[in-house]
Amino acid sequence: MEGDIRRNYRKLQSPILKKCTYFTYRQIVKSAPADFPNVFLLGVTRNDKQAISDFLDHQTDIGAHALIPSISSHLLRIDGRAADRIAMERDERRYSQMEFSLTWSESVPPETRVIEGRWWRAPYHEPLISVGENAAQRLKIRLNSLLEFDAGGVMVRGRVANIREAEFARPGASNQFIFSPGALNGLPASYIGTARIPDSRVAEFQSALFRDFPNVTSIDIGQVLTRVQDLLNKISQVIRFVALFAIFSGIIILAAGVVSTRYQRIREVVLLKTLGATRSQIARIQAAEFLIIGSASGLIGGLLAAVAAYYLLGNLLHTEFRFQWIPFLAGIVATAALSIATGWLTSRGVLNHKPLEILREN
């Protein structure tokens, strides 16, 4: 998975797109566990659980695998009050009406940290619930809150024992409500299978699985990532085109501005020569002018790009944004150099005019 992300990241040639995707790429590669599953099994029933488990155990070259129970439910009440009557914002109220998948676990799931309360230990004297930080914030759930769910017409109750934070979205660990063992006994549960399989063996594994368990659906995340990468490639091509078009348009506008003031620059050169300025001094003055214009343009453009990246990553993609000084300063230097080069190319011959030629015209 990391190799696919890295190859796709290298294809993004636009500096603006690189700046926007650099931090997301780093977070994905850094936070993704090495044993994160790349194949998921859906439609595993209670009757197939043991057979599927044995099938996975006998497969070669398969890394970590698991069967995670899942029970569909709706949240009914929090501390005796109906979930739809608790003071919430519109989005939070809509969240409370979602269908939640309940599961159970004896130990703390991987990539999970308990931030309030503590994890349970046997024996379990009452049904206990571990609530995800996201659900706790949205639904105003606190420690020792009593939650009631409707799971297929069966009322399920439990007391909140802890609130946890998941460092990486993983099946089972990312469930917002995890019960203590035995709390969901007797309820109809389906299972989600996860497995880490080498890419070269995924097709063979899927064929063997379909042959023995035709009712189980397998999803290759690598195929999904490939489709996502294709979409990102198309988006990056559009952004590269827009970036190149903006740069080309800026060069034309700058050149047109310099050409339109060519005669005025000639008069300035003549005036400076009349006052005793040397050719090298006038050249430095013009270079300083182009440098100031280019640096100001690069500074404004870099700040606008940083604000846009902050809004895109923070508000739309919900990822962390870290301002980087090196790309920012490199953009200012590149813009200033481009401005100086364009200004000099369109101002060729200005320094060659003699004062007498211009003075005679006036």
Compute the distance between CA of residue 148 and CA of residue 150 in angstroms, rounded to an integer. Answer: 7
The CA-CA-CA angle for residues 208, 211, 214, to 5°, reads: 120
Sequence-distant (≥ 6) Cβ neighbours of residue 124 within 8 angstroms: 180, 181, 182, 183
Q: Are 78 and 86 in contact (CB under 8 A)?
A: yes
Indicate if the pLDDT at residue 89 is higher than 50. yes
The answer to whether residue 226 sits within a structural domain is no
State the pLDDT at residue 32.
Answer: 52
State the pLDDT at residue 46.
Answer: 85
Q: Are 233 and 239 in contact (CB under 8 A)?
A: no
State the pLDDT at residue 117.
Answer: 93
On average, the pLDDT of the chain sits at 78
> At residue 107, what is the residue type?
S
The H or E element spanning position 290 is helix 279-311
SS (H, E, C) 109-172: CCCEEEEEECCCCCCCCCCEEEEEHHHHHHHCCCCCCEEEEEECCEEEEEEEEEEEEECCCCCC
Q: Domain total for the chain?
A: 2
Q: Mean pLDDT throughout 133-145?
A: 89
Give the tens place of pLDDT for each residue, 336-359: 888 888 777 776 666 666 665 555
Confidence of residue 223 (pLDDT cuts 50, 70, 90): confident
Q: Are residues 77 and 174 in the same domain?
A: yes
Q: Are residues 271 and 353 in the same domain?
A: yes
The answer to whether residue 234 sits within a structural domain is no
State the pLDDT at residue 85.
Answer: 72
Boundary-marking domain end, from 189, 214, 230: 189
The answer to whether residue 208 sits within a structural domain is no
Q: Are 104 and 180 in contact (CB under 8 A)?
A: yes
Give the tens place of pLDDT for each residue, 227-247: 877 887 888 788 788 878 877
Confidence of residue 179 (pLDDT cuts 50, 70, 90): very high
306-337 b/e with 16+ CB inside 10 Å = b? Answer: beebeeebeeeeeeebeeeeebbeebbeebbe
The answer to whether residue 330 sits within a structural domain is yes
Q: Which domain holds residue 183?
A: 69-189
The answer to whether residue 43 sits within a structural domain is no
Q: Mean pLDDT throughout 315-334?
A: 79
Q: Are residues 290 and 181 in the same domain?
A: no
The H or E element spanning position 346 is helix 325-346
